[in-house]
Structure formats: structure tokens, C-alpha cells
Amino acid sequence: MLCPLCGMDKETATGFTSDGEASFDIENFCPLCGKNIEANQSMCNECQDELDVTLDNIYFCQACGAHLADAESTCSECGTNTSILNTPASCIVCGKITMPNSEYCSNCIIGADEESKRVISTQFDTLTDELTSLFEKARGLGLLVSLLEREYEGAKLMMEAGEGVGAVSVLEECKEKLKSSIMQYEVYISAYQRARARIDRASQEGCDVEEALLLLTRAEYLARMRDYKQALICVIKCSSLADRDIKQKEAWKVELGAYVEK
């Protein structure tokens, strides 16, 4: 059975809603208008509603207030799916369970719609600050970010037009793309520097590093095209070739030394 004051399930044995907030006389209220009635009365004096069900099995539509039969899944008055309405929701401010379609939380008396706007605004401002920092870092690394900057400017226009949820979604996507680009570039640069050092050592050892240098040149070209994934593959191959040549050279020196000793 639902509380006539807040619509929550009530404890029939206590006269309180399950959270203990609302108190009422279990036996004496009209399910349609909520007015007091006499015990065992068959009709409400206020709205003339016939009390054709026992009071322990009274349900009403949370959208329009019409009386519902126990088994009804759709309100016959407004057509609302009552299974959706009966799903509890949490207040975004205090966390208390509230009526799914209520405009205000009975606990903190804050309008859910207005608070949602404030939450979205805060999220937007936070993402804007994070993106400003990421854009500065990306530009410092020489990354091309003009496309993401256009998406960023578009999100600001969406926010001004009242499309806060969509604007936040766009900014979150921009943030992930920027972070991914920066990470790929930093991984590539680190691998490139290691490959360059291995090739230099191989060259000092007298190894033929022409193949490795060709791969390194290819990696540099791919990096200029912003294809850091393929560029990374190239520099990894460079390092492998240089390491192979160094090991072969060292093995050859060992064999040569053994031969000279003989």
C-alpha cells in the first residue's frame, strides 16, 4: 500500500511510511482525494468516490492521482506505465529516495530540475578547465588539435542554448580524444629516442644500420601524419634491428678473439 502523502510504500502495521517520515491514519483516508473518511465507510463524502476495495489494497497513479487496481500496469486515466512510476529515484542533492516524478525532494525541498541544471553547469565548468590544460599541453607537444577545438567551441554554443547534457557529452568525448593523442605521442617519442640511441651505438660498433635508418625515417614521416600507432611499430622494429646487429657484432668479436688466441 502507498502513503497518501508521498506515494511511498507504507508499513501497514505502524502507520508510517517505510522511511518513517509521514504519519497517517491507516484506516481513514480516501484513495482519490486523500480526505478523512469514517472507518468502513463505502463512499467518500468529499469526492463521492466509491470505496470498492479494501483500504489495505489501495493504489493510485503517481502521475495523475487516479485510483488503480492492484494488478494494473497502465493507468486507465492517463495511460502512464505504473511500473516505471513505482521505481524509486534518489535525490541528487541528499540521496534520499524520492517519488520518481516529483519536482521536489521532501527531505531537502530542492527542485530536482533546477539542481540538475546546477550539476550540469558544474560538470561543464570542470571539463572546460581540464580541456584548457590538455589543449595547452597538446599544442606544446606540437599536436594538431584544430578539429577538437571546433568540437569544444560547438559544445560551448550548445551550453548557451540550454543543451547542457549534450554539451557535457561532447566535452567528455573531446577530453578522451585529447588524452589518447597525448599518450600515444609521448609513448612514440620515448620509443623513438630509445631506437635512435640503439642505432647510434650500432653505428659506432661498425654495424650496417642502413635498414634501421630507413625504418626510422618511415617512423618520422608517419609521426608527421599523426599516425603514432604505425610510427611506434616502426621505431620498435628499428630498436630490434639495431639490437640484433649489436649482438651479432659482439658475437663476431668473441669468435675473432678466440681465433687470434689460437
In this prediction, residue 56 has a pLDDT band, given cuts at 50, 70 and 90, of very low
Given a contact cutoff of 8 angstroms between Cβ atoms, the answer to whether 75 and 68 are in contact is: yes
pLDDT at 142 over 60: yes
162: left (phi over 0), alpha (psi -120 to 50) or beta: left
DSSP run (H or E) holding 192:
helix 164-204
DSSP code for 56: G
Q: What are phi and psi of 39, to 5 degrees?
A: -60, 140
pLDDT of residue 38: 61
The C-alpha cell of 28 is what?
481513514
For the chain, what are the domain ranges?
1-87, 114-181, 186-261
DSSP run (H or E) holding 259:
helix 228-261
Per-residue pLDDT, averaged over 163-192, amounts to: 90
User: In angstroms, rounded to a whole number, what is the distance separating the alpha carbons of residues 83 and 63?
Assistant: 12
Entry pTM: 0.48
pLDDT at 155 over 70: yes
Q: What is the helix, strand, coil percentage profile of the chain, to 5?
A: 55, 10, 40
pLDDT of residue 246: 84
pLDDT of residue 32: 53
pLDDT digits (tens, 9 = 90+) for 220-255: 898 888 888 888 888 988 888 888 888 888 777 777
pLDDT of residue 258: 64
The C-alpha cell of 85 is what?
512510476
Give the lowest-confidence range in 28-42, 150-164, 236-250. 28-42
Per-residue pLDDT, averaged over 180-208, amounts to: 88
Per-residue pLDDT, averaged over 1-11, amounts to: 47
pLDDT digits (tens, 9 = 90+) for 60-117: 555 555 666 555 567 777 776 655 444 445 555 555 555 555 555 555 544 545 556 7
pLDDT at 21 over 50: no
